[in-house]
Amino acid sequence: MSDVAIKAEGLGKKYYIGARRERHRTLRDSIARAVVSPFKKARRLLRGQATGAAGLHEELWALRDVSLSIQQGEVVGLIGQNGAGKSTLLKILSRITEPSEGRAQIGGRVGSLLEVGTGFHPELTGRENVLLNGAIIGMGRSEIASKFDEIVAFAEVEKFLETPVKHYSSGMYLKLAFAVAAHLDPEVLLVDEVLAVGDPAFQAKCIGKMGEVAGEGRTVLFVSHNMSAVARLCPRSYCLEGGRLVDAGESEDVISAYLKRTSSQIPSDGFADLRSQERRPIHESELARLEWVRLLNSEGVATSTIREGESARIEIGVDIRRRVASVQVGCALSALGRSGTLLTIPSPEYDEGFDPGQFCFAVDLEPNYLRHGTYSIGLKLSIDGSTRDLLINAFALSVVARASGYGRDVFSRQGGNMGYFAFDYPWEAPRRADPKKERPDG
């Protein structure tokens, strides 16, 4: 396979689902079924079907005609919706399950973390499971011992090392499982979406560790719904949809295309019609109403995705139905999937008086403020000092991380997302310090 670490050709995996409905059986039916059953099982075996599929009649291709190639030392992302076939692909690559068609080859020792505690025995202690997992992937006892202290320190489970892991919480289980998978020097590391179980600090720690693993020249295939983590760690990505490979290429392009295809919250043309959206009950909303919202990138093109460091413009359409004295529009940005408003952008109160008609309010987002992530935009419309229209989740935008080397991306390389906003305050060039003059105790 030369420099190719992972190679798949025409991979497919077929399952049988559903159950055949049967009438109530008599004693004669049961005897007849017992006689015929062995012959049916033999026929299914000859056809390549599982013998337990007797009552299963519908075929489901969890994976179909998937081909990919990953070079040694590459860090590659694998994205897609739930049920797209990502975990099935990783199970085939890990040799947990056999493909129904096609073949896959992996060059080197494989470490995999496909679900919490993969490969752990619940009755064994944390120490014993570390030794067992090392042996499974082909490491010698001395080789495991050299990494043992580092694994335990990373997992933060020193007090429970001699306790059977069946007594661990899911978070403790995950910490130890990830520490084992990442530290036992596999040439190929397969990581499924398991980091969501951990707390934010541990997620950041794991992502930082995967960055280190990648920097050491090992191959990583990373499955995640965290698009920012994929963009930050993986220069290249694949996207699965319905069991088929639908996209491959640079992560930013693959992620952008995926979000446009799959998220109803992020219109592909950057425009959202607000007239039919569900409102919070607001009194006297017949005075004025939020009509639409549009996101423009730095080139003035309507879009749903911008890059870190790129300026953007939010335009908001308002329908004023009766003459009013003043109008004020506000935006609130928050990270999707997390509670709490992160940034509010109130407009000035325009009090010159407005006749009925359609109006456009716009605000410019300065470059370098929004960090990578997906943000929900809430909108509020105030007329004559009172709120008249309110949309909690009017629109969403995705900010994609730039390639490493971008100024603030140093935070990501050091192990996680250091907040959601960054401001370019000026720094002075370093100067030589005189401790006698500048230190209080000098």
Residue 426's region, left for phi above 0, alpha for psi from -120 to 50, else beta, is beta
Identify the bridge partners of residue 220 per DSSP, sorted by sequence position.
75, 189
Dump strand ranges (E) for 157-304.
Answer: 188-191, 219-223, 236-241, 244-250, 271-273, 288-296
- For residues 34 and 114, what is the distance between their CA atoms, to the nearest angstrom? 39
**Do the beta carbons of residue 262 and residue 81 sit within 8 Å?**
yes
- For residues 190 and 113, what is the distance between their CA atoms, to the nearest angstrom? 6
- The CATH number that domain 4-262 falls under is 3.40.50.300
- Report the amino acid identity of residue 265: Q
CATH 2.70.50.60 in the chain, residue ranges = 271-400
**Do the beta carbons of residue 114 and residue 190 sit within 8 Å?**
yes
- Report the amino acid identity of residue 340: G
- For residues 151 and 182, what is the distance between their CA atoms, to the nearest angstrom? 9
Most confident of 53-57, 320-324, 395-399: 320-324
* For residue 404, pLDDT beyond 50: no
Identify the bridge partners of residue 396 per DSSP, sorted by sequence position.
376
**Do the beta carbons of residue 262 and residue 404 sit within 8 Å?**
no
In the numeric block, the tokens 């070079």 are attached to 71
Q: What is the pLDDT of residue 405?
A: 41
* DSSP state, residue 13: E
pLDDT digits (tens, 9 = 90+) for 150-178: 888 888 888 889 999 888 877 788 788 87
- For residues 308 and 371, what is the distance between their CA atoms, to the nearest angstrom? 6
Distant-in-sequence, close-in-space partners of 230: CB < 8 Å, separation ≥ 6: 77, 79, 222, 224, 237, 251, 255
Position 139 confidence tier, pLDDT thresholds 50, 70, 90: confident
The residue length of the chain stands at 442
* For residue 287, pLDDT beyond 60: yes
The pLDDT > 90 percentage for the chain reads 17
- Report the amino acid identity of residue 337: G
Distant-in-sequence, close-in-space partners of 178: CB < 8 Å, separation ≥ 6: 113, 155, 194, 195, 206, 209
**Do the beta carbons of residue 367 and residue 356 sit within 8 Å?**
no
Backbone angles phi, psi at 52, to 5 degrees: -80, 5
Half-sphere exposure of 393 (CA within 13 A, CB side): 14
Alpha-carbon distances, residue 302 vs 195, 269, 389 (angstroms): 34, 6, 24
CATH 3.40.50.300 in the chain, residue ranges = 4-262
- Report the amino acid identity of residue 123: E
- For residues 165 and 56, what is the distance between their CA atoms, to the nearest angstrom? 36
The pLDDT > 70 percentage for the chain reads 72
* For residue 120, pLDDT beyond 70: yes
Estimate the crossing angle of helix 126-136 against helix 170-183, to 10 degrees: 40
Distant-in-sequence, close-in-space partners of 223: CB < 8 Å, separation ≥ 6: 77, 78, 79, 86, 87, 90, 191, 192, 193
**More confident position, 393 or 386:** 386
Most confident of 163-172, 415-424, 433-442: 163-172
In the numeric block, the tokens 């040439």 are attached to 187
- For residues 272 and 279, what is the distance between their CA atoms, to the nearest angstrom? 15
**Do the beta carbons of residue 104 and residue 89 sit within 8 Å?**
no
Closest CA relative to residue 180, chosen from 199, 159, 161: 161
Q: What is the pLDDT of residue 423?
A: 65
Identify the bridge partners of residue 247 per DSSP, sorted by sequence position.
239
Half-sphere exposure of 1 (CA within 13 A, CB side): 14
Mean pLDDT of 406-416: 38
Sign of CA dihedral 197, 201, 206, 210: positive
**29: enclosing H helix or E strand:** helix 27-46
Position 410 confidence tier, pLDDT thresholds 50, 70, 90: very low
Tell how far CA 352 is from the center of its chain: 47
* For residue 118, pLDDT beyond 70: no
Question: Could you tell me the pTM of the whole model?
Answer: 0.56
- The CATH number that domain 271-400 falls under is 2.70.50.60
- For residues 130 and 398, what is the distance between their CA atoms, to the nearest angstrom? 39
Mean pLDDT of 410-416: 37
